[in-house]
Structures are given as structure tokens and as C-alpha cells.
Amino acid sequence: MTMKTVVKRVLTGTIAIAGLVAAPATVQAGNIDGFIGISGGITYDTYLTAGSAILDWSPVGGGLGRGFVVTDATGYFNPDGGGLMGIDIGTSMVMRDLTNDPALAGPAPAAAYAPPGAASVPNFLSNFVDPDGTIAPLTNLHFDLTEMVKQTAYPACNGSEGAGSTCVLGEIFVLTETNGHLSILLDVRGNFVNGNDSGAYKGGFSTTFTDLTFQTAYARLASGQNLDCPSNSTSDGRTSCTFDANFTSIAAVPEPASLLLFGTGSTVLLALRKRRNAKK
């Protein structure tokens, strides 16, 4: 079989299969990539002493909280840089409260169930609204949470930790005590979606409970108390701690058509290599 025949058969088959793959689609999907940073308030609502809890975004209670964009967004989110969405600093969004206990979960106003590892929380972030009140073209943008990342770089917390220690609580929270403060890190994964556009993302949350040490945190958790920042004049005596979260795009898995083209390219290169070797 000649090289010309090999290439012709490969490409003919590829075009036919690619046509079948593409036939149902009427709108070309775009890739969402870039960076977006948000901030807001959070408390850790403890339930009993069995490890059940709710990540309660401010305002506390109600199953929903609110976050705000605090940095210049890049990539897809930044129209000044050639992006599509037009997200400005001060853009607000609605955030679903999260729980590790299915008995506490349900439709809002209940929290969404998000155990360590694989999770499914559609619209974890949604309702993006620019500070000038402009909604379009943000109407359909949302973030679907698919994983509460398990932390394996540090040992599990055992109750003996003190200043300078770092450990993992509940498989997903990295705790570190410094200068009488307890810093907590949490990583998530999921997808930003806007109509037919989508992109895989990792998100890193961080917060510092300013009046907590390991010792005081363990004492509160053991007695079923909530974890929050020092109280002030709020009506319920609770104050949310400030959190920061950075969402960064990660390499997307190639679409079936991309894999098909990669396979085609490999076949052609192999045929060329065989032909070259035969001439030696």
C-alpha cells in the first residue's frame, strides 16, 4: 500500500467520524480559562460533637451567602484583556453553604451536601452581578463544585497540636497555628459554566480565625460550639471571619474530537516513519 493511500484512508475515515461527532452540535462551545479572586465572610457551624458541620458563608444562616470579586479578573472573565464576561472588582455572587452531613443538607435554605472527595454542588457560585447593576452577559455564569480536595501532605489532627503545628482536620482542612491565630486552608475543584462555554478550575480558600488556637478550637468543637471570629455588636453575637479564594483554570481533558485528531496524527507519523525506514 502506498503512503498516499494510507494517508487518504486515514483522513477519509477521520472526516467521516468527526462529522458524526460534530453533527448534533449547533453551537461551538468555548473554553473558559483565566483567574478570578473572591472574598467574603465565613463561620464554621458545629453540630453536636460527631464532626458534623456547615461552612456558613456570611450572612450567617439561610443556606446562602454572598461573595465579592476582589481582584482584576483575567482571561475569559476580563473583557479589557480580550475576555468575554466583563467581571469588575466588586462584582457580587451568591454562594451555597456546604455541609459534610447529608442529614443537614437539602435545597436552600439548607446547606448543600459536600463530603470529602467527590461532590456534586451545582451552582455553588451563581448570580454574578456587576457593581453597576449590570447583569448581562453574566446571567448564566456559575461554578459547579465537583470535589472537596482531600489533603495528604500533612498528618491528621490528633488534638495534641500547638503553636507552629500544621495538620489536617476532616481530611480537607489544613490547620496551622501562628501567633495565637488559627489559619485554615481548603481546596476545591469544579467547573465554571456559561451557556455552552465551560472550563475546569481549582479553587483555594483561606481564612484566619483571629481568636483561636488549636487548644481553644478543639475545646469548642468538643462541646459543639461554633467557630467564628470575636463577637461585636451584631444581634446574634457572632462575626464572620474574612476568607479569600483564588480560582485558577486547570488543564482541560481533550474533547473526543481532539483525541481523534491526535490519534490520526500519530497514525500518519507512524506511516511516514515506516516508509522512511524502508528506503534506508
DSSP 255-267: PHHHHHHHHHHHH
Mean pLDDT across 140-155: 97
Name 235's Cβ contacts closer than 8 Å, sequence gap at least 6: none
Instruction: Give the residue, 34 or 271, on which the prediction is more confident.
Output: 34
| Three-state secondary structure call for residue 32 | coil
Higher-pLDDT residue of 210 and 134 is 210
184, β-bridge pairs: 175, 207
Tell whether the model's pLDDT for residue 230 goes beyond 90: no
User: What residues contact residue 188 under an 8 Å CB cut-off, 6+ apart?
Assistant: 124, 145, 147, 148, 149, 202, 203, 204, 205
- In sequence order, which residues have a C-beta less than 8 Å from that of residue 218 and are 6 or more positions away? 159
* No. of helices (H) and no. of strands (E), the chain: 3, 13
Residue 20's pLDDT is what? Answer: 34
Highest mean pLDDT among 38-52, 101-115, 129-143: 101-115
Lowest-confidence range among 2-16, 27-41, 127-141? 2-16
Q: Is the pLDDT of residue 60 over 90?
A: no
Q: How many residues does the chain have?
A: 280
Which residues have a Cβ under 8 Å from the Cβ of 190 and sit 6 or more positions away? Answer: 121, 124, 143, 144, 145, 146, 147, 200, 201, 203
Cell output for 168: 489536617
Of 83-97, 196-210, 234-248, the one with minimum mean pLDDT is: 234-248
Q: How far apart are CA 252 and CA 249, in angstroms?
A: 8
pLDDT band at 117 (very low <50, low <70, confident <90, very high): very high
Identity (one letter) of the amino acid at 183? Answer: S
Mean pLDDT of 85-104: 93
Name the amino acid, one letter, at 142: H
- Report whether pLDDT(207) > 70: yes
Q: Is 280 helix (H, G, I), strand (E, B) or coil?
A: coil
Contact, 80 vs 112, CB < 8 A? no
Contact 214, 177 (CB under 8 A): yes
What is the pLDDT of the chain when averaged over all its residues?
80
Q: How far apart are CA 160 and CA 275, in angstroms?
A: 68
Q: What pLDDT shows up at residue 3?
A: 40
- Grid cell 447583569 in the structure block, residue: 135
| Residue of 171, 196, 227 lying closest to 53 (CA atoms) | 227
CA 165/CA 163 separation, integer angstroms: 6
- Decide if pLDDT at 269 tops 60: no
Of residues 170, 44, 64, 68, the one with CA closest to residue 121? 64
When comparing pLDDT for 208 and 271, which is higher?
208
Least confident of 52-61, 76-85, 257-266: 257-266
